C-alpha cells in the first residue's frame, strides 16, 4: 500500500540566473500540508524570484519541483493552478483586471477556463461571486460586486485577490506580504482565514518582513540569503537567530531609543488645515533638525497631510508658511523648487517609470542639475546614481539596470536615495518601510536621521508603531484627520501610542 507523501510541495536544488547574476543557488524547501511555513530574507535574497517560479511567471534553470511527491513542470500561472498552487502577490495591481467588475475579477479564472457560462451577463455571476465573498467573511453587497475593480480601495483589492486564490481550494497557498496594505481589523480577519486554511490541510508559504506576524502564525521558518537557505526552524522560533541568518551579522530586533533630539526651529507652519472631508481643521508645526514620526491607521489622514504639503492634492482649507513666508504649492513642481520632497506611499505607481534605468530614475526630478543648456550630461547623471547606490547599499547589477527589475526593498532605497541626493530642506516619507526587510528598514531609518542631523525637516508617516518608534524624535498620532497625541519619542511608550490610535474622535 502506497503511503501518503509527507509534503504538499517540495523544491529540490532550484537554480535561477539572470545573465551572469545567479539569484537562486540550489534552494531546497519543503512545505508540509496543514502547516504555515514562513519565508524570510533581506531584499535581494531571492524570495521574489522563488515565488515567481512557484507561480509560473519564471522558469527555473535547474532543480526539481514535486507536488504531492510527484515531479511536475510549472510553465505558466495556469499550470501552477492546475497543480494546486495559488499565489497572492504583493503587487495587487498585477493581479486584477481593469475594466472588469469586482465580481468578474473574483471569478476571473473560472471565466477564462470556461467554468462559468459565457452568456447571461453580470446578473448570473452575482450569486456565485457573493457566495465566494461570503466564504471569506467579506460581506460584500451586490452593489460592491458590481463596481469596476479600480473603484476598490487597496485593502479590499488585497482581500479580493486572496478570495480568488481560494476559489480553487488550493493544496499550496503562497502569500507575499499579504498584510502590507491592511488595517489591524482586516489583518486579524486575514489571520483567521489563514489559520482555518491551515487546519483544513492547506500548505501555506507566508512571506513577510513583519517578525511579529511570523512569530504569531508560523509553524516553521526558512531563511534565504544570497540565493541559499541559511536557516531552518520549527516552532518555537528563535527570531533573533532568524534575523542574524537574514543579515549575516548580529542585529538587535529591539527598538533603539538612543540619540533622540528635539528642535524648535520651525520649517513649516500649518494653520487651519483640513485633511479629511468631515474632519475639523488642525494646526501643526514641523521643525528642522528632527524626525517627526506620524502614525495612524489607514484613513487617518497621514497621506493627505503629505500630499497637501507636497502640492499633489492641495489642502481644502488653511494656510502654510515655509521659513515664516507664505507657501501655497498648487503643483508638485512648486514644492520641489522650494526643496520640499515626498517619497510617496505607492513607489511603483507614483515614483518609478517601467523600464527606466536606475540612473535615469535617480536624476528624473533634477534634470536641470544634470542637463546644463538643455543637454544631458551622462557622466554627471551616472555619477549621481552611483552615489545613491553606494550610500544606500542598493543591491543592483549597476546603474543601468532597470529600476523595476530590483527587489522591492532596493526599489524603495533607490527612490528614497533619489530625493535625499537633492539635499532636501524638508523630506516627507510616506510608508517608507512597507514591504522592506529589517536591513533595508534600518538603512532608510539611518539616512532619515542623518538628514535631520544635517538640519533637514524630516517627516516619516507609517501605520506601524514600532517603525515610528525606531526612527522618530517626535511622535504624532493621527485619528480621523486629527492629532490625537504629540509627544517626544523618549516620553511615550508603544501602549500609549496604540491607545491613542484606537480612540474615536
Domains of the chain and CATH, by start: 1-84+169-253 (3.40.50.300), 98-167 (no CATH), 266-502 (3.40.50.300)
Q: Is 63 helix (H, G, I), strand (E, B) or coil?
A: strand
Joined grid coordinates for residue 174:
503562497
**Strand stretches in 19-140, DSSP E:** 21-32, 36-41, 62-67, 70-72, 85-88
Q: Could you report the per-residue pLDDT of 448-492, keeping only the tens digit for each?
A: 999 999 999 999 998 778 889 889 999 999 988 999 999 999 999
Q: Give the pLDDT mean for 153-166.
A: 78
Give the whole-number percent of the chain exceeding pLDDT 70: 90
Q: In residues, how long is the chain?
A: 505
Asked if the model's pLDDT at residue 365 lies above 90, the reply is no
Looking up cell 514644492 gives 335
Q: For the chain, give percent helix, strand, coil, nearest 5.
A: 40, 25, 35
The pLDDT of residue 465 is: 82
Q: What is the pTM of this model?
A: 0.62
CA dihedral 110, 111, 117, 118 (to 10 degrees): -170
3-state secondary structure of 141: coil
Mean pLDDT computed over 380-403: 89
Query: Would you say 110 and 118 are in contact if contact means Cβ atoms under 8 Å apart?
Result: no
Instruction: Output 80 or 94, whichever has higher pLDDT.
Output: 80
CA distance 457 to 239: 34
Q: How far apart are CA 391 and CA 386, in angstroms?
A: 9
Identify which has the larger pLDDT, 246 or 392.
392
Rounded to whole angstroms, what are the CA distances from 66 to 1, 24, 30, 226? Answer: 20, 18, 9, 24
> How far is the C-alpha of 393 from the C-alpha of 78, rounded, in Å?
37
* CB atoms inside a 10 Å sphere around CB 424: 20
**What is the model's pLDDT at position 300?**
83
> Per mean pLDDT, which range of 15-24, 248-257, 484-493 is the poorest?
248-257
8 Å CB contact between 195 and 217: yes
In eight-state DSSP terms, residue 235 is: S
Query: 426: part of which helix (H) or strand (E)?
Result: strand 426-430
Distance CA 11, CA 219 (A): 18
* Res 85 pLDDT > 60: yes
Distance CA 410, CA 9 (A): 29
Residue 467: phi and psi, rounded to 5, are: -60, -45
Which residues sit opposite 85 in a β-bridge?
172
Q: How far apart are CA 191 and CA 441, in angstroms?
A: 24
Whose CA is closest to 154, among 431, 412, 501? Answer: 431
Measured on CA atoms in the order 326, 332, 337, 340, is the torsion positive or negative?
positive
Q: Are 380 and 370 a contacting pair, CB within 8 Å?
A: yes
- Contact assessment for residue 38 and residue 218, using Cβ atoms and an 8 Å cutoff: yes
Higher pLDDT among residues 45 and 184, named by residue: 45
CB 363 within 8 A of CB 383: no
Question: What mean pLDDT comes out for the span 363-372?
Answer: 74
Grid cell locating 302: 497621514
Mean pLDDT score of the chain: 85
The answer on pLDDT for 373 being more than 90 is no
Name residue 22's beta-bridge partners: 17
Of residues 411 and 436, which shows the higher confidence score?
A: 411
**Burial group, residue 65, by CB count within 10 angstroms (0-12, 13-18, 19+):** buried
Q: Which residues pair with 221 in a beta bridge?
A: 38, 233
ω before 494 within 30° of 0 (cis)? no
> Quick one: which of 500, 466, 470 has its CA closest to 482?
500
Highest-confidence segment of 248-252, 296-300, 345-349, 466-470: 466-470
Amino acid at each position: 500500500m502506497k503511503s501518503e507523501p509527507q509534503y504538499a510541495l517540495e523544491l529540490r536544488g532550484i537554480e535561477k540566473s539572470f545573465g551572469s547574476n545567479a539569484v537562486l543557488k540550489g534552494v531546497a524547501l519543503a512545505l508540509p500540508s496543514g502547516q504555515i511555513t514562513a519565508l524570510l530574507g533581506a531584499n535581494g535574497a531571492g524570495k521574489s524570484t522563488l515565488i515567481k517560479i512557484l507561480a509560473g511567471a519564471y522558469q527555473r534553470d535547474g532543480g526539481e519541483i514535486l507536488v504531492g511527491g510527484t515531479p511536475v513542470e510549472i510553465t505558466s500561472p495556469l499550470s501552477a493552478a492546475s497543480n494546486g498552487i495559488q499565489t497572492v502577490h504583493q503587487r495587487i495591481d498585477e493581479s486584477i483586471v481593469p475594466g472588469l467588475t469586482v465580481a468578474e475579477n473574483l471569478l476571473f479564472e473560472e471565466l477564462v477556463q470556461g467554468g462559468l457560462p459565457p452568456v447571461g451577463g453580470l446578473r448570473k455571476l452575482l450569486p456565485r461571486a457573493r457566495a465566494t465573498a461570503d466564504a471569506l467573511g467579506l460581506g460584500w453587497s451586490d452593489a460592491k460586486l458590481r463596481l469596476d475593480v479600480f473603484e476598490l480601495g487597496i485593502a479590499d483589492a488585497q482581500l479580493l485577490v486572496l478570495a480568488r486564490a481560494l476559489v480553487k481550494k488550493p493544496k499550496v497557498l503562497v502569500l507575499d506580504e499579504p498584510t502590507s496594505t491592511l488595517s489591524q481589523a482586516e489583518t486579524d480577519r486575514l489571520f483567521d482565514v489563514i489559520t482555518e486554511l491551515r487546519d483544513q490541510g492547506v500548505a501555506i508559504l507566508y512571506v513577510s518582513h513583519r517578525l511579529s506576524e511570523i512569530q504569531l502564525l508560523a509553524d516553521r521558518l526558512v531563511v534565504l540569503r544570497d540565493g541559499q537557505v541559511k536557516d531552518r526552524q520549527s516552532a518555537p522560533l528563535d527570531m533573533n537567530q532568524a534575523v542574524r541568518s537574514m543579515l549575516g551579522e548580529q542585529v538587535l530586533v529591539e527598538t533603539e531609543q538612543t540619540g533622540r533630539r528635539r528642535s524648535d526651529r520651525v520649517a513649516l507652519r500649518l494653520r487651519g488645515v483640513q485633511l479629511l472631508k468631515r474632519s475639523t481643521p488642525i494646526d501643526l508645526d514641523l521643525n528642522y533638525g528632527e524626525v517627526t514620526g506620524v502614525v495612524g491607521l489607514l484613513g487617518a489622514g497621514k497621506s493627505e497631510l503629505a500630499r497637501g504639503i507636497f502640492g499633489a492634492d492641495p489642502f481644502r482649507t488653511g494656510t502654510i508658511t515655509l521659513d515664516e513666508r507664505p507657501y501655497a504649492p498648487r503643483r508638485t513642481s512648486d514644492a520641489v523648487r522650494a526643496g520640499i520632497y515626498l517619497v510617496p506611499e505607492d513607489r511603483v505607481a507614483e515614483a518609478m517609470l517601467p523600464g527606466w534605468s536606475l540612473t535615469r530614475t535617480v536624476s528624473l526630478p533634477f534634470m536641470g542639475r544634470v542637463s546644463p543648456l538643455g543637454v544631458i550630461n551622462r557622466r554627471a547623471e551616472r555619477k549621481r546614481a552611483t552615489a545613491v547606490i553606494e550610500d544606500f547599499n542598493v543591491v543592483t547589477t549597476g546603474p543601468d539596470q532597470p529600476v523595476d527589475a530590483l527587489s522591492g526593498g532596493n526599489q524603495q532605497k533607490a527612490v528614497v536615495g533619489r530625493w535625499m541626493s537633492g539635499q532636501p530642506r524638508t523630506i516627507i516619507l510616506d510608508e517608507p518601510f512597507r514591504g522592506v526587510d529589517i536591513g533595508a528598514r534600518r538603512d532608510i531609518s539611518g539616512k532619515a536621521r542623518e538628514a535631520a542631523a544635517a538640519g533637514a525637516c524630516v517627516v516619516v508617516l507609517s501605520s506601524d508603531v514600532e517603525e515610528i518608534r525606531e526612527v522618530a524624535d517626535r511622535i504624532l498620532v493621527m485619528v480621523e484627520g486629527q492629532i490625537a497625541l504629540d509627544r517626544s519619542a523618549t516620553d511615550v511608550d508603544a501602549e500609549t501610542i496604540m491607545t491613542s490610535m484606537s480612540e474615536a474622535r
